[in-house]
Amino acid sequence: MKRSNIYTIVVIAVVLGVVLYFALREPKSVTTATAKPETEEGHAHTPIKEVELNEAQYTASGIVLGGFTMKNLSDVVNANGYTELPPQNQADVSVHLQGVVQSINVIEGQYVKKGQLLATIESPEFAKLQEAYLTSKSNLEYLTLEYDRQKTLSDENVNSKKVYQRTKSDFEIEKAKFNSLQKQLSLLNISKAGTSSTMPVMAPIAGYITQVNVKIGSNAEVGKPLFSVIDNSKLHVDLLVYEKDLQKVKPGQNIRFTLTNQDNLEIKGKVFTVSKAFENETKSVAVHADISNNNQALIPGMYVNALIDVGVKEVKALPTDAVVRAEGREFIFVLEDGHEEAEEHGHKHEEAEHEHEEHGHEGKMFHFQRVEVKTGTTQLGYVQVTLLQKIDADAQIVLKGAYYIQSHLVKSEGGGGHEH
């Protein structure tokens, strides 16, 4: 009985040992298998990816290289508005006497100088005015001599004062008539010598012809514009600033604005005055700003998006086109040292050799590295960029064409591309 109990105890001990062995071994195995991916993930980092373009691909992609730009993107007031022209830089050309259009010397869009001949108007009234002027001039010459003679005789008490006074009156009346006719001819740009039935129409300011409202044979009416001329050299910007931002805006502050559908081209200016009344029953006030770098083809009435710099907080920024988004992160591309021959890269694997043969890579190669960044405030086509990987201070960053490089990278990876 005792020996049987001993056997029973031994069997139970063996079974228990086996159970305990597997019970303890299994959790250890599970823990190891689970921890392994965690360890790998804990040490994982963003792989450095590089893209290679040959010269033909580089040229066709329209890539533009550059560096960071310091921009004030946060300490600003946003405003919209239009390009405006002061009234003194606009002119409507009309006539003071009615006539018929004899000739037209300009077309719409043509640049004219101040005083340039625009058209000629014909009317018999012009000849009559010249005739009256010449007659008055002749009478005035006679009355001037007669007035001087009668004055001398009156001073010597040879003739009566009455004769002298009558001569003086005739002289003064004719002199006033002559001066009036002279001013009328000057105003009408009509010659004072000879008689003519035509009158020239001159440009009152230098600028561009925007409207031609007549044609040959048209009746030129008094006060009705024949031409319109504008001088865009004094173009400025009118921005609408709302009441909540009004206290931040002051004369002398810098502005930056872009034009709609103009490739985010940035134009600079400076505030010169702030209106003291609300515009058109709204809670916005007009802020007037001069244009500093007005070398663009600007015309009145163009819509603008603007930033008014009310502070000096500048950050590193890039054009929005320079940043691409992939895999839930943001990247830029940096140009690395170029290579003259494809063989210098030492591609050993068959996929790279196949790609070289397919695209015919020869000559200069362009090598780009993808660098991860973090973006911030975006304004007027620029975005604040913080580097998450170190690059050289003078690195050439892809400002335009980054999406082309990214698509090339995706294509390469899908077709057996490689990572460095």
The winner for highest mean pLDDT among 113-117, 291-295, 378-382 is 113-117
For residue 96, the model assigns a pLDDT of: 87
Query: Is 136 within 8 Å of 158 (Cβ atoms)?
Result: no
Q: Which CATH number fits domain 50-73+315-414: 3.30.9.30, 2.40.128.120, 2.40.420.20, 2.40.30.10?
A: 2.40.420.20
For residue 355, the model assigns a pLDDT of 46
CATH of domain 90-230: 2.40.50.100
Q: How many whole angstroms separate alpha carbon 365 and alpha carbon 354?
A: 16
User: If DSSP codes are grouped into helix, strand and coil, which group holds residue 279?
Assistant: coil
Tell me 338's DSSP state: -
pLDDT at 344 over 70: no
What is the share, in percent, of the chain residues with pLDDT greater than 90?
35
Residue 339 has pLDDT above 50, yes or no: no
What DSSP string runs through 77-92?
A: EEEEEEEE--GGGEEE
pTM higher than 0.85 for the full model?
Answer: no
Confidence grade of residue 147 (pLDDT, cut at 50, 70, 90): confident
pLDDT band at 239 (very low <50, low <70, confident <90, very high): very high
Instruction: Work out the burial of residue 177: count CB atoms within 10 Å of its CB; fewer than 13 is exposed, 13-18 middle, 19 or more buried.
Output: middle
What backbone torsions phi and psi does residue 55 show, to the nearest 5 degrees? -65, -40
Query: Which CATH number describes the domain made up of 76-85+235-309?
Result: 2.40.30.170
Q: In terms of pLDDT, which residue wins out, 100 or 50?
A: 100
Considering all CA atoms of the chain, what is the largest pairwise distance in Å, rounded to the nearest integer? Answer: 187
Q: Does position 256 have pLDDT exceeding 70, yes or no?
A: yes
- Quick one: pLDDT band at residue 43, thresholds 50, 70, 90? very low
Q: What is the mean pLDDT of residues 160-188?
A: 89
pLDDT band at 47 (very low <50, low <70, confident <90, very high): low
In whole angstroms, give the CA distance from residue 218 to residue 212.
12
